[in-house]
Structures are given as structure tokens and as C-alpha cells.
Structure 1
Amino acid sequence: MTKPSFAFTPLLAALLMAAVGPVGASSHREAPFITTVPKVDATDFYMFRSYEAGRDDHVTLIANYVPLQDAYGGPNYFAMDPNALYEIHVDNNGDAKEDLTFQFRFTNTLANAGAGVTLPIGGKNVAIPLIQAGQVANVRDASLNLSEKFTLTVVRGDRRTGTASLATNASGGATQFDKPVDNIGVKTIPDYAGYAAKHIHTVNIPGCAMPAKVFVGQRQDPFAVNLGTIFDLVNAPVGVITNPELINAAPNTIGDKNVTTLALEVHKSCLKAGETGDDVIGGWTTASLRQARLLNPRPASAHQASEKPGGAWVQVSRLGMPLVNEVVIGLKDKDKFNASAPTGDGQFIDYVTNPTLPALLEIALALPNIAPTNFPRNDLVTTFLTGIAGVNQPRNVVGAEMLRLNTAIPPVAFAQQNRLGIVGNILAGGNDNAGYPNGRRPKDDVVDISLVAVMGGLCVANGTTNALGFGTDCTPAKVPLSSTAFSLHDAVDQAVVTLLPGFPYLNTPLPGSK
């Protein structure tokens, strides 16, 4: 079981990454193999009670893929992989197995029945080299040379052997949904926000009486991190990263990047195991490729015809809580973790109970003897593998790494959300228990929360009342860092990232030109 210690890793990512090599933010480029196939690289996973007005009885699930997209990345931009299987899994009974899986498959075809848009040149019709032949404003615009569509399959039970049914468009019953082209620039798509909004689909989920929403498309990367500084052995003065007044002292390194978002908004009752089911659900996202991938030495004249896949699906990416594989799992086991399922997390337990990140932080900051010694780190196991009793722990829980969300805890309006999630709520004595690690909202500053947690800050928050159920593991002798643990940060404030007030919540992607 591995995820706990990650939860505290965004800043510490710098430390481990210094030994591993350059990587992206959050869970971008977190394992050796995934760096070779960025189209199936999951960057972030979010799961939270919807806080859009009038939608608070829904749960939003967001899986982001294809990291570090430069807005000007033409002429082919960042279409999803039609030879991949993208999935969002939900465990609604605490046994670390998926009970509900949402599968996304993509089809990318050229216009004119695969011939593409052509122009008459010297008496011949010649295919154009771009994915657009003019301005774009509508779904399936005639100016688009490339049509991107997807299907959404709902699987109940095991993701490979369970009962599978296609979700349908609530308007017309279609089983294919249109994906907007990436934000090429303001001349091609003058009103990208309006254009993208036309691709938010209301859908019928098989077995669910309430309609859902789905959106797949490019978004501005919602994650904020002081990437270069952090990965350079936390190359920042201790006086800066422990001063709460300087939480926004540095620019967001990835503020100029886009990602591709798979977003769902589903009524909470459709995610639980019936009316009397547990209110706590777990969630994670995976991506899989075919076991055999042959390169065609003579590809046909078509879109992405150089590869001929075959064989069984092989999972190559896994992401629940942020930064787990990136900065908690040892380098030798990173590919293994990406291929694993939550039921097998016992093989990774040492990375959680005996994490290396605190010791790496001691080295990076030249501050000996600040790392907690309350081994095994049961505070991390409780918070990040089983959930916190009374907050987001299922009735019958099997320890495993995934986001866990209590769907009975009401959402908090964006303006009132505490950027430090449950940690910040404890400190402020407030009423916001709807944040990380109880699920994850876009505003939750998981970098700073993770820093607090990995250095024993949750033990300090637990206090003499044992509010988080950590028992006697959090004695001052074993957790030497005092309340100053709550001051640790990466000098980049997640709370100032631009977001939308409603579904799909993540901001309009940056354009290729302005």
C-alpha cells in the first residue's frame, strides 16, 4: 500500500526527482516507461462534491492526461490516442476493487471519409497539411480537417469481465460524443470558451436514474507548483518556505501549460452501492495499451496509421492521490506501481510506513533531525491508505492507495474553501471537511498539505484529543517538528489558479496565439 506518503510529496518531489532526473509537476512523467508514451500519462485526478450552484448533490470526477502541453504545439496538437483505453474507477464498498468503471475510447478521423480537406491546386485536389482549413466556431465545424470523437462505456463489476453498457446522449441517444479541437489560437477559434462549452454533453448512465454530464477536451493545467526550485533539491531559503506570508512569492512554473481533461459529473446516488450503501467511495484513474504494438513500415494514407496494436490490455498508468508514484515509490518500482491494482498495494507498504522523503528533506535543507521517527508511520497509513475514521474511511476498509471521498459531507462554496483542506480546517476551526485528503478539489494546495503531512504536521493537528484517530503514534519525542510544520510551503499558491465556477471547473486552455 503506497499512497500515503505521497500525499505529502509535491514539494519533496524535488528531492527524489533530483536523483531520478527532470520530471513534470504533480504526477507528470513519474515513471521511466510512461515518459515514452505521454498520451497515456495521467497528470492529476480530482474527485469532489460539486460546488456549482444547484449541483451540490453531484460528484465531479476529473482525470487529466497528456502533460506539459505547449499551447503552440501544432500542427497536430494533442489528440488522444485511439489505441488506448482510459478509465476512471470507483470502489463503493471499501474492498479496494473497482465496482464501477467509466471507460473512454477515442476515434480520430479525417474529413471527407478519411481523405481529408483538399484544395484545388493546379487542377488537382490536394490534401491540406493542417487540422483546420478556416475559422472554427461549432461542433463538427466544416473547417475542421480532423474529427475527434469518444465513447463512454460504463462497466459494473470487474473492469474486464463485468457488465458493460454504453452511455447515451440524453438528446437523441447517440453513443458517440464530440471532443473539441485544441485551442489553436484566437484567429482560428475567436471564442474558445463558447466553442468548448458546446461540447459539454448531458448523458444517460446505464443503471442510473439521474442524468450525468461529460466533457473531454483541452484545459489549462490546474496544478500549481514551484517546479524548478523544488526539483533542484528545494533550492529556496528556509526562511521563505516557512513564512506563511510568502505562499505566493514565486510564479507557477507550469502556469503556461495545458492538459487534456476527462471530466464526469454524476449524481452521488449513482456512485454508491444502493440506498443503504457506504457514503464513502474511492476513486482512481488508469490508462492501458495493447500488449502488442507493431509499427507499420508502409502506413496507409490515413490518420495515425503507423501502428497496428493487438493483444490484451496492459495497464501503464495509475493515479489516485497526487504524486505517489512520482516521489514516494522507489525508482525500481515505479513501472510496477503504474501496472498495479489497489488490491496489490501491500507490496509497496514500506514506502508508506518508512518513507524516505522526510530524510531527503533533511538533506536538501541541511536541517538534521527534523524528520519524524514514529515508525511505522501509521499516521500516513490512516490518512492516505484507509481514510480517516469519521471523515472518509469506509465501513469495511481494505488499505489501498486511492482518493477517498465521503459523499455525505456537503460541498463548500469556492470562496470559502480552505486551501489546506482538512489540515487548514483543523487549524482554522472551520466547517470545511470537503477538501483533500477527503477527495481532492482543484483549489486544494496538495503540495503544501503534503509537506505538512510528511513532516508530521497531521500528528500535531491530531493533538491530545486524538481527533484524527492516530492513537499514541504521534508523541512529541517521535515527531520533532513543532507547529512550524504548518508553515511549510513551496512559495506557489494553488488557491490563485484561475478556475471556472462550474463544470468542468478547469479553466479554458491557453491559446496557441493571442
Structure 2
Amino acid sequence: MTPAKHSRPRWLPLAAAIVAAAGSAAALASSHREAPFITTAPKVDGTDLYMFMSYEAGRDGYVTLIANYQPLQAPYGGPNYFKMDPNALYEIHVDNNGDAKEDISFQFRFQNRLNSVALPVGGKNVAIPLTQAGQVTDLRSPALNVTETYSVDVVRGDRRSGARASVTNAAGGSKVFDKPVDNIGTKTIPDYAGYAAKHVYSVNVPGCNMPAKMFVGQRKEAFAVNLGTIFDLVNAPVAVITDPALINAAPNTIDDANVTSLALEVHKSCLTQGSEPVIGAWTTASLRQGSLLDPTPKKGHQTTAVSGGAWTQVSRLGMPLVNEVVIGLPDKDRFNGSKPKDDGQFADYVTNPTLPALLEIALGLPITAPTNFPRTDLVTTFLTGIPGVNQPANVVASEELRLNTGIAAVPFAQQNRLGIVGSVLSGGSDFAGFPNGRRPKDDVVDISLVAVMGGLCMANGDTNAFGFGVACKPSAVPLKETAFRLHDAVDQAVVPLLPGFPYLNTPIPGAGAQ
């Protein structure tokens, strides 16, 4: 269904339900170093997943998917910077019938080529120690000492045994694509925006009769959060985080960081199935079960690893921050290796979430968290999607980022930073935002802070009007007065973005003009 088919009273409680869904699953930062094992393998650490109807002019009907990896990249991270792992498998999965299993998987593999650039020194050609030996302006510049390429396969059905075919360049049919070098600095790459734009490809997706777009490369971190303060037990005065006038009072802690994006823009007709407009998505990264290092690389060659065994999933991300602040520490690695179809094993973390209790401790305000347990209301909204918004007709409960492709995109200027709930509460008509997918402008942090303090139960009332459970009522929400005023003092809406694909902004240079 589309929002136009519901009356305003219907959408007000739905908005509160949406807030609660976000509160159980998304919370206080993007997914950085969220599980014990992944801290040892940052190249396969997924940080954010975005999925939204493209709002660039002329791209009606297209869906943008962006999976970010390698968190908190320092722009000055030379001389090797942040190349992707050639021994890893990066994937974006799409479930288009609600059964908690992938129906389409986009699989990215990377190759790094050492070009062994050398300079004549005293009559000898000697290999340089840097990534570059001069200015870089074009694809595969001869000044680059290392070049990265990648290929993308589309697998339909099971990710390992399904039918496989390659994405190809619409210009020439090549199956291999160039990835831009990271933004070393303005002396090396004077016009990084122009250089990166040469790596936006028009591609043919197997089984799809509509041309798609693709970009893989470094971007400026698009997530805004008061990161250090949040994880220091929300080390900010309560008066600040409950005053809407102070929403931009704190600096965005990760405003000086970059990230690596795997971005696709695919027409919705190539992602949906039959008459079902809702799709779910998540991104994963996998490594081989075993790896043997070469202890003595040959002269002129880099250390290599011979990997073998089955692919082993080590990272998973759908809705923001599930593993980081919802899943308990003993099960974080297990969650990263799991599939949506098996999410019943993590049900306690949703029905009895610890995040509200942790906020209670952090804010020094005892008995402020909702008291209705088990949180079946959160199970409904978080694991199935919201009825009438983004719930598939035959949904199987599972954690995925879900998008109703039948709800049209909203231009950037008209987007409400609080997504659907903000639009409804302000009398607007923006129903294309979080948790109906996720756009870069959506402030999932603030939506979540409101949610964990009981927005759903305020809407459900004393009569269980919307079926979220008789215990989910206003009396179960001690912090009624400030529940809808909470924020992290950082404004997601002011993060600079591009007006079109790949939407995330030019990365910060390692040196030169900022």
C-alpha cells in the first residue's frame, strides 16, 4: 500500500511504531568495529548500508544501494591507503519475496596489481616506496604504482549454488572495472571529483533490461554522530540532548573520516518479484576458511596468502547498528556469520533489549526505559517491516533493511531528516525515508533515541488500539515528557552530499585543500 491510501490518524500511530522499530535495531553510530573478530579484519568490516529510491532528477524508478566498508579511514593513511581485500568476497543481497533468503546477490571481487614503478637512481632503476610517482588524472595512470580493479557477478537464488552471470560495462562489454585510488591529496590528484566521476560506469546487469549504474571507491563518511560521547555512557548533559534547539551543539566526531563504498543503482523492476513492491537487503563480507602466508615473497612481489576452503561469512549488516548495540557481546561474532532466515536465535535481544536499560544507566535517570516485556511490539516492527509501509505480504521474521519501491522518492530539499515519523508529526508527506529503506540524510540516531524511550507504546494507548500488546501503553513509558525531544546534538541533515549517484560526497584529501 502507499501512504495516500491511509488517513492521517492511521499514519500517526504507524509513525510511532516505526520509531520503536528503529530503536531496537539502529542506535547510536554507524557499525564500526562492532564485533570481536571483525576488529582484526578492518578491510571486511561493513559500516553502513543505504537503500532508497533514487532522488536524482531523471532517475525515477531506480533504487540506489550503497554498502560501505573499512570504517574511520584517516585521509592521510598513506603510503598504502585503504585498498580492498583481494582474498575477500563482498556481497549485497536482495530478498524480493519476504522469505528471509537471498534471491539476488551482487558479488564483488577485487584485484590489486603492483606496477613496480621504478626511477633511475645512479644508473640503476629502483622501485619507489609510494603508491604514486606523479600526478594522477586518468584511469590506470602510469604514475600509479598499484592499480585496483574489480568484477561483479549477479547470482540468482542461493548465493553459493544459484545461477551466476557477470555485470558488464555498457561501453565495450568488459567484465573488469577500475577502482579509483584513494584521495591521496590535491597535489597528486588536483581534481578528485572529476577523476572519481570517470569511474562511474553504465553497466548491464544480467537478467535486467534496464541499464544500471555502478561506482566503487572512496567517499567521505556520510554518517554523523557524536561518537566518542555516545560510547562514553552518553557523556553529555541531559539538558543538551533533550533540547531541540541544541541539535547542532556538538561536532560530528567522524566528519574527518572517509569510507569505501560499493554503490549500485538498479531499476526497481530488476529487483522486485511479481506484484510484491517490498524488497529487503543486507550486505556481507566473507573470507576463505584457511589462509597460508608466503613467508618469503619473491623479490619485487608482495606478500601473498594462499586461501582455501569454503567462504566463511565474517560481516553482516542490514539495519544500522544491530550488532553494535543490540546483539549481546557473546553473540556478536555469531550474528556476523548468520543469515536472516536463522534470526530466531537472536530473538531475546529484541524482545528484551538492553539498550534502553543502558541508556537509563548512562543518563542517570532510573526507571526511564519502557517496562513492557516481552517487546512483541518491536518484533513486529523490526523483524517484519511495518504493515502498510514496508512489510512484504508473505514475510518471514528476519532482520533486513526493507524498502517499498512503490513509494516514490522525495527530492533532497523536501526530505525530512527524521524520515517517516518526522514527516507525519510535522504534517508532511515524506514516506520514502527510514525505516522505509535508508537515505543518507535520514538521522537514524535521533529517530532511535526517541524510539528507545517508548514512542510505540504512547501511540498504542490503553486499549491496545494497534495490536502491539496490552502491556504496551502510556503507563509503560516513564519518560513521556521528553521522549520525542531526544537527540545526540549532531545534525545528520547538514552532512554535505552529492545531488546524484553515487550520492556520498568526494572523500577528504590526505593533504591540500580541505
TM-score range, shorter chain: over 0.9
Superposed CA offset, 1:222-254 (max 9, x none): 001001111111111111100111111000000
Q: Which residue of the partner structure matches residue 127 of structure 1?
A: 127
Q: CA deviation at 1:43?
A: 0.5
Q: Specify which of 28, 32, 40 is matched with residue 28 of structure 1.
A: 32
SS in 2 for 1:310: strand
> How far is 1:450 from its partner?
1.0
* Separation of aligned partners in 2, 1:120 and 1:127: 9
1:109 aligns with 2:113: yes
Residues 372-381 or 190-199, more deviating: 372-381
Match of 1:427 among 418, 425, 429: 425
| Equivalences for residues 89-488 of structure 1 within 5 A | 89-111=93-115, 116-273=116-273, 276-301=274-299, 304-461=302-459, 470=468, 472-482=470-480, 484-488=482-486
Q: Give yes or no for contact 2:25–2:326 (8 Å, CA) kept in 1.
A: no
Q: CA-atom RMSD, angstroms?
A: 1.9
Which is further off, 289-298 or 317-326? 289-298
Amino acid at match of 1:428: S
Distance 2:22 2:338 in 1: 18
Unaligned runs of 5+ in 2: 1-17
Q: Provide Cα deviations, 1:298-353, integer angstroms capped at 9, x if missing partner.
A: 12345643322111100000000001100110000000000000011000000001
In structure 1, stretches of 5+ residues that fail to align are 14-24
Determine the structure 1 residue equivalent to 2:15: none
Residue in 2 that maps onto 1:83 = 87
TM-score by length of 1: 0.93
Q: Work out the CA distance in 1 between the residues paired with 2:139 and 2:465.
A: 51
Alignment of 1:8 onto 2:26? no
CA shift digits 1:363-410 (9 cap, x unpaired)? 111111111112121222222110000000000000100100000000
Q: Which amino acid in 1 is paired with 2:61?
A: D
Q: Is the 8 A contact 1:93 1:277 kept in 2?
A: no
Equivalent AA in structure 2 for residue 196 of structure 1: A
Conservation of the 8 A alpha-carbon contact between 1:221 and 1:254: yes
Shift of 1:185: 0.1
Secondary structure, aligned partner of 1:8: helix
What letter corresponds to residue 139 of structure 1 in structure 2? L
Identity %: 74
Q: Distance in 2 between matches of 1:349 and 1:360?
A: 18
State whether residues 5 and 324 of structure 1, in contact with CA within 8 Å, keep that contact through their aligned partners in structure 2: no
| TM-score, structure 2 normalization | 0.93
* Residue of structure 1 aligned with 2:66, choices 48, 62, 65: 62
CA contact 1:12–1:451 (8 Å) conserved in 2: yes
Per the alignment, do residues 110 and 197 of structure 1 end up closer, same or farther by CA in structure 2, a change over 3 Å counting? same
Secondary structure in 2 matching 1:477: helix
Partner residue, 2:13 = none
Does the 8 A contact of 2:184 with 2:511 survive in 1?
A: yes
Deviation at 1:480, TM superposition (A): 2.7
Moved more, 82-91 or 135-144: 135-144
> Offset at 1:127?
1.1
Residue-by-residue CA offset, 1:170-200 (whole Å, 9 max, x unaligned): 0000000000000000000000000000000
Task: State the Cα distance separating 1:296 from its structure 2 match.
Answer: 1.6
Cα gap change, 1:423 to 1:467, in 2 (>3 Å) = farther
3-state SS of 2:78 partner: coil
Deviations 1:432-471 (A, max 9, x none): 1111111000000011111111221233355689897636
CA distance, structure 2, for counterparts of residue 504 and residue 27 of structure 1? 20
8 Å Cα contact 2:86/2:111 also seen in 1: yes
